[in-house]
Chains A and B, each alone.
Chain A
């Protein structure tokens, strides 16, 4: 009560104490950009195009979309945001995955990183993903996508900072998260900046990557640690480096949690 009065005296009003006239907002650790594509965005000269419709963000260099061989041409930049309050304004005014048409994707990436393997931040990385049969998960996918986004923007996929990290915090492993709708299934993915390549010296990285996967499977998706998920149209929670994905399975080393 005493603290409340003090805060009031200082004039700090969050959205919880005054939903219309709040004067402080909760910054996100990183700014984020939402991107979208679907058959409806392909080959259409839509008014909003990714690189030209928005002023560039000062201090952030977005690698040329040209490097992606046309991959980015049909992907539309929806919005960028950097606070918890703005995230929810977006969430409450956009179409959830269960209502998207087939072959649509939302890509939520840290600002300045485009949702493509070719981006500097992604090219040495990989992804955790799970594929879920559509008919059994129509009622789950919206919650799973929301929880995936919340873990991303809340930055809870990365380990807590220790005192030794304060001066020089380790770079986050997460670059973005994706939900995809397909005729028979949904896919949720978490993209990482790095991927272990099997060497002994990379044990620490592998441990961190596996930590991301376990958090995804357990806390975010709500499965138990030992639960087996694969079946018709379904996969386990699996990690694959982008380099191995490009090889289309030949010699690919999957990690499963």
Chain B
């Protein structure tokens, strides 16, 4: 494949960066035990313009864990977990 021809010093692009967009949901089959998106949500859908039900979307939660390349350092934009809530969740008695 094309990947093998790349300069070995360059980091391999993530699957996310190189994966192509599904434009026909009907062309995709899922492994046993994985729910397909609800059909009725995508009747008359245009290519690549899909709606997804919650049960379908939740199936990705435990699989897609990789931090996106474009996510900035959270503390650099002020997103920091509250100390107070951490101590509460570690068995503090609250107030």
Return chain B residues, CB-CB under 8 Å to A216: none
Provide the A1-34 mask, 1 if CB < 8 A to any CB of B, else 0.
Answer: 0011011001010111101111111111100000
Bound complex: CA A138 to CA B29 (Å)? 38
A156-B41, A161-B45 in contact; A84/B74 too (CB < 8 A)?
no
Contacting pair A36 B28 (CB below 8 A): no
Interface of B is mostly: loop
One of B31, B64, B76 near A85 (C-beta < 8 A): B64
Interface size on B, residues (CB 8 A): 56
Provide the A52-89 mask, 1 if CB < 8 A to any CB of B, else 0.
Answer: 01000000000000000000000010111101111111
Return chain B residues, CB-CB under 8 Å to A12: 27-29
- Tell me if B4 is interfacial: C-beta within 8 Å of chain A: no
Return chain B residues, CB-CB under 8 Å to A20: 15
- Tell me if A147 is interfacial: C-beta within 8 Å of chain B: yes
For chain A, which range describes its interface: under 10, 10 to 19, 20 to 34, or 35 or more residues? Answer: 35 or more
One of B46, B63, B77 near A41 (C-beta < 8 A): B77
Q: Please give the residue numbers on chain A whose beta carbons come within 8 Å of chain B beta carbons, in ascending order.
A: 3-4, 6-7, 10, 12, 14-17, 19-29, 36-38, 40-41, 44, 46-48, 53, 76, 78-81, 83-95, 98-102, 135, 138, 147, 150-151, 153-156, 160-163, 165-166, 169, 219
> Could you give 23 example pairs across A and B, Cβ below 8 Å?
A4-B31, A14-B30, A25-B21, A26-B50, A27-B21, A27-B49, A29-B51, A44-B78, A46-B77, A48-B76, A76-B77, A83-B16, A83-B21, A89-B64, A89-B67, A89-B71, A94-B71, A154-B54, A154-B57, A155-B52, A160-B43, A161-B43, A161-B45
